[in-house]
Structures are given as C-alpha cells and as structure tokens.
C-alpha cells in the first residue's frame, strides 16, 4: 500500500510544487487581440515552468514537496475523513429501500436494439441478487467492530467503516474492510446511526440500524 500511494503521487506533487514555489512571470507584447498573444506567451510560459522545475530540483525543494505531498495523501488513505453526522444507534430502526431507477433516455445495444426506454422504471434486483450484506460501523468503536466481525464473515458481508482506519484493522484482523468514501452509501440508504445493516429482501433492500448493548445487540 505504501508503495502504491507514494509512487503514484510524484506527478501530482510536481504540479503542487509549481504552486508552492511561487508566482510565475511571463512577458508578451499586447497586439490588441488576445488570440494573437497565445503563440508568443506559450513558449515563454513553458520555458519558465521548465526553469523553475530545474531550480526546485537542484535546491531539493521539489523532493521535499513530493515527500510532504505523499505523506499527506498516504495519511488520507490510511484514515479517510469520517462520514459526518453518523452517531451510535440509540433506537432501533428499520425500513425498506427501493433501488429502482427511472431511465432518463433510451438505452440501446450496439445493434440499436432497445434495452430500456426513456421513462421506464427498472429495479436492478430484478436482474441481480445481492448475496452479501452491507454492514456499516464506526471502525474506532471497539464494541461495533467486535460485534460486526463476530457476526459476519468476509463471505457473508462487507464491513464498511464510516470512521476509523480500514488498513490498520485489515492488518490487525486479517480480513477485508471498506470505507464509505464521502458518505455516499450511507446518504443513499438514509443511514444516520451505526451499526447499520443493509440486506436484500426480495425486490427491496432492508435497512436496519442496530442498538448495541455491552457485548452485543439488544
């Protein structure tokens, strides 16, 4: 993971270095029309960028910026920003979520055959079966983590953090964990509290927020 994070950031960090190094100056005459100045400005701008990169590399500033940027992103990967507004469940709740969507345009295959018409309502659960539950927990809450890992195997469910470090827990627990990036899944399902379990129930997804007592659910 460390190699993937740091190795993939060199290009982005280089661009960031240009911003950090300072403003760039380019000189060009005003010929009265903006469009006519581009051929004059562009070579000068590229030359300025190249010169600043060379100076930054020679001074070690580019390497320092790369390292700083890589550390920041690695920290975000190891511990993503918590999903805001999610709190421990105090009252048990359960509801159905209908995943059906209404087509905004006609969908056709490569031969032009109509697959789905505009305005048609389609339920993905008519076509696929969700075999794994989705279990949302606060990864920094020891009770929620213990409850989820004891109750659900990797085969039975995907355990998804709304807070905490999936990478650290994968190392500690020797199993896979996920993270609800930017709260997109909890927002879609309407989840406000954890633990929460999403499981297929026929043509809908059953969403349940579970209240935990010491050592287990109520």
Q: Which fold has domain 87-217?
A: Glutaredoxin (3.40.30)
Q: What is the 3 state secondary structure string of 102-167?
A: ECCCCEECCCCCEEECCCCEECHHHCCCCCCEEEEEECCCHHHHHHHHHHCCCCCEEEEEEECCHH
Give me the pLDDT at residue 18, please.
34
Give me the pLDDT at residue 135, please.
97
CA distance 197 to 217: 12
Q: Is the pLDDT of residue 199 over 80?
A: yes
Tokens describing residue 97: 């979520």
Q: Is the pLDDT of residue 130 over 80?
A: yes
159-189 pLDDT, tens digit per residue, is 999 999 999 999 899 999 999 999 999 999 9
15-54 pLDDT, tens digit per residue, is 344 334 344 444 444 434 444 554 555 656 677 777 777 7
> What are the residue ranges of CATH 3.40.30 in the chain?
87-217
């Amino acid at each position: 993971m460390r190699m993937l994070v740091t190795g993939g950031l060199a290009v982005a960090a280089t661009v960031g270095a240009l911003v950090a190094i300072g403003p760039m100056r380019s000189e060009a005459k005003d010929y009265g029309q903006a469009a006519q100045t581009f051929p004059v400005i562009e070579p000068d701008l590229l030359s300025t960028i190249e010169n600043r990169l060379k100076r930054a590399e020679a001074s070690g500033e580019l390497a320092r910026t790369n390292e700083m940027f890589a550390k920041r992103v690695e920290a975000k990967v190891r511990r993503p920003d918590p999903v805001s507004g999610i709190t421990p469940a105090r009252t048990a709740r359960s509801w159905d979520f209908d995943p059906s969507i209404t087509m905004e345009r006609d969908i056709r295959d490569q031969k032009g055959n109509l697959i789905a018409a505009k305005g048609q309502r389609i339920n993905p659960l008519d076509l696929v079966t969700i075999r794994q539950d989705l279990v949302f927990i606060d990864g920094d809450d020891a009770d929620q983590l213990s409850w989820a890992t004891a109750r659900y195997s990797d085969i039975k469910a995907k355990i998804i953090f709304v807070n905490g470090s999936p990478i650290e827990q994968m190392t500690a627990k020797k199993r896979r964990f996920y993270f609800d990036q930017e709260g997109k899944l909890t927002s879609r399902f309407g989840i406000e509290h954890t633990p929460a379990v999403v499981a297929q129930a026929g043509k809908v997804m059953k969403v349940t927020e579970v209240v935990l007592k010491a050592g287990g659910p109520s």
